[in-house]
Structure 1
Amino acid sequence: MIMTTVLLTGATGLVGSRLLPRLADDGVDCRALVRRDVELPAGVTAVRGDLDDPASLAPALEGVDAVVHLAALFRTDDEAAIWRANHDGTRHLVEAVAAHAPTARVVMASTGNVYDATAPRPARETDPCTPTAAYPASKVAAEQLLRESGLTWSILRLPFVYGDDDGHLATIATLAPRFGLHPAHTYSVAHHRDVAALVRMALAGTTDGRVVNLTDDAPVTVWEMARLAGATLEESSAPLEHPWSGRMDGALARELGFRPTVPTIHAAAAEGIL
């Protein structure tokens, strides 16, 4: 690992709480941006700050070599809050990095939800993104802020992330009926181990100036995800309206040297790391 001091936002979230100990175990000097006292892995330094408060970010950025920006707001009906967290928070962070750590590398986690649902194939990083829902639209806007910042940046578009007993897979049983997900619909997925693997590549500079999709080696159906979580969905043989929605092309990451350590969700099940 080239970087020595890394600041993480969203370090206590679904992805951050699994990524942080892996980076710490790599020997990275990790700082976690937190708004209150929280339990963190051994060796991780908590720094008080809030993306809503730009002035609070300067001390957290002192002497950092990189920033991994994971903080985001997703499952809420408060669209204004989503935009404040995902767009305005990113703007505050980008401006603070430019002012206080301009040579730091910034790695931002985005989402495969930014791609258009009507895509005719798995989505590529160069495809246009015109989402209408607040969460993906705010992430596209945040991506643009970083890309135009003049900083050293990379953007990692994550799929459905699971593993390490995080409970995310178990949500499928309630998400499927809530959002009308067809049981035969397939989604790109990735294990937390491979989020960490791609972040390591980004911190080493491999993805500088690029948007990169993360996927494992095989998509999985909603039906299979529910079954792996111990649930059964209502059966359906109705045709899929948008069969490529939720699917990402992972070729670029592999061209850059990424190889998933957990190749499929079924391999994760066999290993007992769901």
Structure 2
Amino acid sequence: MILVIGATAHFGRQTVETLADAGRQVRALSRDPERAGLPEGVEVARGDLTDPSTLGPALHGVTELLLVLPYGLDARPLLERARQAGVRHVVFLSSGAVVDSADRQPDVIAAYHAQVEREIRATGLGWTFLRLFFPAINSLAWAMQLRGGNVVSGPYASAAASVVHERDVAEAAAAVLGSPEHAGRVYELTGPQSLTQIEQVEALGLALGRELRFEEVADQAVRQQLSQFMDADFVRALLDLMAATVGKPAALNDSIERLTGHPARPYAQWAEDHLADFR
């Protein structure tokens, strides 16, 4: 039995669907099972990550665990419950910002994910880490702007990323769950191409049949705006990561193809798959 934690978020939901389509035994954790909206036939267990005492029924009989955690959550109580319940293998969707050789991680995003990785290792359970930098779903943040025009405004127009389709992440996670040969391994997941934000907006425009353009705005203004409703250290880390990629093509690898058996989906495919989100 596989338990997916974070099952109603993008990556968790897609993984649940992928596992269910393959006929795998999968259970999804949700605070509100009646509103989870997961595929028919998927077992949905009630539980709250902020109250580990509620997780017992969800963990019963589970041997594999996929963790898609909200930033900042203390994972230790959950991991201890999983160990006690007999879970044997934990797959964690981590961050590409983690630097293995660093005595101190470069920012709060890397530090949080590195901490969870250490805590998973400390359980003595089998583990696999899937590290992801810039998922394609970040582009959904542009939808509101594009409802009022054809311009996307943001910092760092030339910031480059190898954006990854969430379906590829889900299929990679499904491939390592239940496969002992992946235990103790770290996979960095990338898309098939390095694209600047300008190029992403152009590709999205082609899919929508609209002439879209990216208009760069001052970094400081964006930092101040985002910090009004997001953790300031998180905003700083996110924008610093973007700034570091300006003028530098993103690194590419074949991890997704090796895990799933097919090449990573291009950003143009992601745009086609999400047309409804921009209309």
User: Which range, TM-score by smaller chain?
Assistant: 0.7 to 0.9
1:224 partner SS: helix
Is 2:117 aligned against 1:143? yes
Deviation of the 1:188 alpha carbon: 1.9
**Alignment partner for residue 250 of structure 1, among 246, 249, 253?**
253
Name the Cα RMSD after superposition: 2.9
**Measured at CA, do residues 258 and 246 of structure 1 come closer, stay the same or move farther in structure 2, by a change above 3 Å?**
farther
Is 2:139 aligned against 1:169? yes
Deviation of the 1:107 alpha carbon: 0.5
CA distance in 2 between partners of 1:246 and 1:9 (Å) = 33
**Measured at CA, do residues 248 and 91 of structure 1 come closer, stay the same or move farther in structure 2, by a change above 3 Å?**
farther
CA distance in 2 between partners of 1:170 and 1:219 (Å) = 18
| Counterpart for residue 228 of structure 2 | none
**Which structure would you say has the larger Rg?**
2
The one-letter code matched in structure 2 to 1:208 is: A
**Alignment partner for residue 158 of structure 1, among 125, 132, 147?**
132
Spell out structure 1 runs of 4+ moving beyond 6 A.
Answer: none
CA distance in 2 between partners of 1:111 and 1:241 (Å) = 17
CA distance in 2 between partners of 1:150 and 1:68 (Å) = 16
Q: Which runs of 5+ in 2 are unaligned?
A: 146-151, 206-211, 218-241, 275-279
| Counterpart for residue 120 of structure 1 | none
**Measured at CA, do residues 51 and 188 of structure 1 come closer, stay the same or move farther in structure 2, by a change above 3 Å?**
same
**Measured at CA, do residues 261 and 42 of structure 1 come closer, stay the same or move farther in structure 2, by a change above 3 Å?**
farther
**Measured at CA, do residues 30 and 262 of structure 1 come closer, stay the same or move farther in structure 2, by a change above 3 Å?**
same
CA distance in 2 between partners of 1:200 and 1:160 (Å) = 20
| Counterpart for residue 273 of structure 2 | 273
**Measured at CA, do residues 113 and 232 of structure 1 come closer, stay the same or move farther in structure 2, by a change above 3 Å?**
farther
1:169-248 alignment to 2 at 5 Å? 169-172=139-142, 180=155, 182-203=156-177, 204-230=179-205, 231-234=212-215, 242-243=244-245, 247-248=250-251
- Which string of whole-angstrom CA distances, capped at 9 and with x for unpartnered residues, describes residues 146-176 of structure 1? 12220011110123223xxxx64232577x8
The one-letter code matched in structure 1 to 2:175 is: M
1:114 partner SS: coil
Deviation of the 1:35 alpha carbon: 0.9
**Alignment partner for residue 78 of structure 2, among 90, 93, 96?**
93
**Alignment partner for residue 14 of structure 2, among 11, 15, 18?**
18
Identity of paired residues, percent?
A: 30
**Measured at CA, do residues 242 and 110 of structure 1 come closer, stay the same or move farther in structure 2, by a change above 3 Å?**
same
Q: Which runs of 5+ in 1 are unaligned?
A: 74-82, 116-125
